[in-house]
């Protein structure tokens, strides 16, 4: 039996009972949920150094202190989320925590902030991965956008195949990247100790040398805080782990935080020690690997593993965006379709939606990582702050054993992440962060509109509202005609089975054709009266709608069924050769109260 394109790309459908077998081990979980956070090592130090360049060479020695501060922040946030995982083992992260403890609006703000951040995570990681490729192969630089879009499509298909499949796909690049960077740091430290690198007098010219050094340092810190994006991913996806879910998720979070901190400090120390200066044509990591290993096989292994993990870092968003959107959809704050699982037991609609939205910034900004970075981190630190504040309230309400200690930990996390959020918002506002600052409340308003719509629909459909629909006093059947043929006769037979009041209606565009049809109708119409509607402006739907309005006026408590005779061509392209008037009529009738439309198809054999 031939395999369809869908099955070839995505795989055969999985039974619902196999969902537990699709869950992740700690090893696969680290690859799936930490690829975003770990990949930021590849560009986090570079973003710090690029921001410091605005103050000239004198400020470059702040690279390592800023990195140390960021690693301290990683520790605080990781410990806070460790507590969140055990307090909320069902997952949902910042959205659930903020909504349960701070109220609906804070929860929606946290959810919207994370959704925006997941989109930007895909765009930044993909563009950074492509930048690593073009650093090694400059000839591909002009095709960056195309390579980004191909990468998004690839990672989207991988995730549509299932959680376990995506884990297997990203495991090798993630662990190769960790191993490659660990080797780079060890070899770099050995070279630095054994062969001291001479000081280099760098001539850095900048138009911003008059800017306040403190502001430049804060902006560098804000840029480097992109390193923290993805830390919350494990807390959002607790249910993706094998049992015991909370324990496995917490251990994975601990591993991720340790590896992230060690790699960040190592790269920052070596970049500063080897006097690396950011270049537009080559990444800092590429320069560092070239300085330590030359252009041999190890250099290219590091470059390719970096490119792969940066591209596959989007996998974290593709794992968490659909999961979070499904939770919000179940709460009726997003379209319900996002809560449905696809053939491979993943939230397919969310995966496709994320792929589409993440491609838009890539196209707008030309796949430029430095242009996209200022949009980054505002959303995730908004979620951090609300999540930690929600946990403070959570411990205060429970007041169980050790609640004061837990509350102090989350309180510290709240204060620190809020200060960082303010720094990021202020220092990056004019560089593009204003887009995110506006996008988050805009998305919150949209979620509220969606929720209001679902509540209104539920109210109108409720059986407990106390009012019953009036019984129909009359049933009129109307059959619009385009001619007299077998499909029409089937519709007439069906209509006569529904009601005694059946009328055939023909809109007259040509009197000669109308007379011919009237003659045939007298012979084949089975006694059903024919109504001719004149249309001086050649509209078919207009006179028909007016006629239906007249019937409703005559029978205000009645119901009208409009039966549309249709023939179905054998081949899909045959549809292009025929009028689609029936579709137009259906569209018009959809919004008419008290009117039902139905089709009686005749399937053609040739």
pLDDT tens digits, 493-550 = 999 999 999 999 999 988 888 899 999 999 898 999 999 998 887 788 889 999 999 9
Per-residue model confidence as pLDDT tens digits over 441-452:
999 999 999 999
Q: What is the pLDDT of residue 578?
A: 63
Which position has the higher pLDDT, 581 or 71?
Answer: 71
Confidence label for 18 from pLDDT (cuts 50, 70 and 90): low
Q: What is the pLDDT of residue 376?
A: 66
Domain at 25-454: CATH architecture: Up-down Bundle (1.20)
Q: What is the pLDDT of residue 605?
A: 78
Strand order in the sheet with 559-568: 530-534, 501-508, 475-481, 559-568, 595-603
Q: At residue 260, does pLDDT exceed 90?
A: yes
Residue 8's SS3 state is: helix
- 262 near 299, Cβ under 8 Å? no
Q: At residue 183, does pLDDT exceed 90?
A: yes
If 0-12 CB within 10 Å is exposed, 13-18 middle and 19+ buried, where does residue 275 land?
A: middle
Cα torsion 279, 281, 284, 289: sign: negative
Q: What is the pLDDT of residue 563?
A: 94
Query: Cα(48)–Cα(64) distance, rounded to whole angstroms?
Result: 9
Query: Cα(272)–Cα(188) distance, rounded to whole angstroms?
Result: 12
Query: Cα(498)–Cα(600) distance, rounded to whole angstroms?
Result: 13
- 591 near 505, Cβ under 8 Å? no
Per-residue model confidence as pLDDT tens digits over 82-124:
888 888 887 667 888 899 999 999 999 999 998 988 888 888 7
Which position has the higher pLDDT, 211 or 378?
Answer: 378
Helix %, strand %, coil % for the chain, to 5? Answer: 70, 5, 20
DSSP for residue 196: P
Residue of 230, 236, 279, 220 whose CA lies nearest to 40? 230
Percent of the chain past pLDDT 90, that is, above it, reads 24
Confidence label for 207 from pLDDT (cuts 50, 70 and 90): very low
Length of the chain: 606
Residue of 44, 152, 84 whose CA lies nearest to 369? 44
At residue 566, φ and ψ (nearest 5 deg) are -135, 140
DSSP H or E segment with residue 30: helix 26-39
Can you spell out the DSSP letters for 482-517? SS-SHHHHHHHHHHHHH-SEEEEEEEES-HHHHHHH
Confidence label for 151 from pLDDT (cuts 50, 70 and 90): confident
Residue of 449, 447, 429 whose CA lies nearest to 438? 429
Percent of the chain past pLDDT 70, that is, above it, reads 88
Tell me what the pLDDT averaged over the chain comes to.
Answer: 83
- From residue 56, alpha-carbon distances to 6, 60, 209, 275 in Å are 54, 7, 7, 13
Q: At residue 201, does pLDDT exceed 50?
A: no
DSSP for residue 115: H
CATH of domain 475-603: 3.40.50
- From residue 163, alpha-carbon distances to 121, 159, 320, 371, 538 in Å are 19, 6, 11, 31, 56
Sequence-distant (≥ 6) Cβ neighbours of residue 520 within 8 angstroms: 484
Let me know if the fold of 25-454 is the same as that of 475-603.
Answer: no
> What is the pLDDT averaged over residues 193-201?
63
Per-residue model confidence as pLDDT tens digits over 336-391:
989 888 777 778 899 999 999 989 888 887 877 666 666 667 788 888 899 889 99
Task: Return the domain boundaries, the chain.
Answer: 25-454, 475-603
Per-residue model confidence as pLDDT tens digits over 380-409:
888 889 988 999 999 898 888 888 888 888
């Amino acid at each position: 039996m031939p395999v369809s394109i869908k099955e070839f790309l995505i795989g055969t459908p999985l039974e619902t009972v196999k969902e537990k077998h699709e869950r992740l081990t700690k090893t696969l979980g680290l690859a799936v949920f930490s690829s975003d956070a770990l990949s930021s090592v590849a560009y986090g130090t570079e973003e710090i150094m690029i921001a410091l360049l605005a103050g000239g060479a004198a400020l470059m020695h702040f690279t390592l202190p800023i990195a140390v501060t960021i690693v301290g922040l990683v520790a605080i946030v990781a410990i806070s989320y460790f507590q969140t995982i055990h307090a909320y083992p069902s997952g949902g992260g910042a959205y659930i925590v903020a909504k349960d403890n701070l109220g609906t609006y804070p929860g929606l703000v946290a959810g919207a902030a994370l959704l925006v951040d997941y989109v930007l995570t895909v765009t930044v990681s993909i563009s950074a991965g492509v930048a690593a490729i073009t650093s090694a192969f400059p000839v591909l630089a002009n095709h960056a956008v195309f390579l980004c879009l191909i990468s998004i499509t690839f990672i989207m298909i991988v995730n549509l195949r299932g959680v376990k499949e995506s884990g297997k796909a990203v495991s090798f690049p993630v662990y190769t990247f960790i191993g490659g960077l660990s080797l780079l740091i060890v070899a770099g430290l050995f070279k630095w100790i054994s062969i001291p690198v001479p000081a280099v007098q760098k001539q850095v010219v900048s138009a911003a040398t008059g800017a306040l050094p403190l502001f430049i340092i804060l902006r560098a810190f804000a840029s480097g805080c992109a390193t923290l994006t993805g830390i919350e991913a494990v807390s959002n996806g607790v249910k993706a782990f094998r049992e015991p879910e909370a324990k496995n998720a917490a251990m994975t979070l601990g591993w991720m935080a340790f590896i992230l901190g060690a790699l960040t400090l190592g790269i920052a120390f070596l970049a500063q020690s080897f006097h690396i200066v950011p270049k537009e044509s080559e990444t800092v990591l590429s320069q560092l690997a070239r300085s330590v290993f030359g252009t041999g096989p190890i250099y290219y292994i590091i470059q390719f593993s970096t490119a792969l993990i940066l591209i596959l870092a989007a996998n974290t968003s593709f794992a968490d965006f659909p999961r979070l959107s499904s939770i919000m959809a179940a709460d009726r704050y997003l379209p319900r379709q996002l809560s449905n699982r696809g053939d491979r037991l993943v939230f397919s609609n969310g995966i496709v939606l994320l792929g589409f939205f993440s491609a838009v910034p890539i196209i707008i900004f030309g796949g430029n990582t430095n242009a996209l970075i200022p949009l980054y981190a505002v959303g995730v630190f908004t979620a951090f702050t609300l999540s930690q504040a929600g946990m403070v309230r959570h411990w205060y309400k429970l007041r169980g054993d050790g609640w004061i200690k837990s509350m102090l930990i989350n309180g510290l996390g709240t204060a620190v992440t809020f200060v960082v959020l303010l720094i990021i918002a202020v220092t990056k506002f004019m560089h593009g962060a204003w887009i995110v600052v506006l996008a988050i409340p805009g998305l919150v308003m949209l979620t509220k509109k969606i929720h209001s719509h679902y509540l209104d629909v539920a109210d109108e459909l409720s059986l407990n509202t106390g009012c019953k629909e009036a019984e129909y006093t009359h049933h009129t059947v109307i059959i619009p005609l385009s001619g007299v043929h077998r499909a029409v006769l089937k519709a007439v037979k069906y209509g006569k089975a529904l009601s005694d009041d059946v009328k055939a209606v023909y809109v007259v565009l040509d009197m000669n054709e109308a007379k011919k049809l009237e003659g045939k109708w007298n012979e084949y119409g089975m006694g059903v009266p024919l109504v001719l509607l004149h249309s001086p402006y050649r509209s078919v739907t207009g006179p028909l709608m007016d006629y239906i309005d007249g019937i409703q006026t005559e029978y205000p408590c009645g119901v009208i069924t409009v039966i549309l005779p249709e023939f179905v061509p054998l081949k899909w392209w045959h549809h292009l050769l025929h009028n689609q008037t029936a579709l137009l009529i259906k569209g018009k009738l959809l919004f008419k109260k008290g009117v039902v439309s139905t089709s009686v198809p005749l399937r053609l054999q040739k």
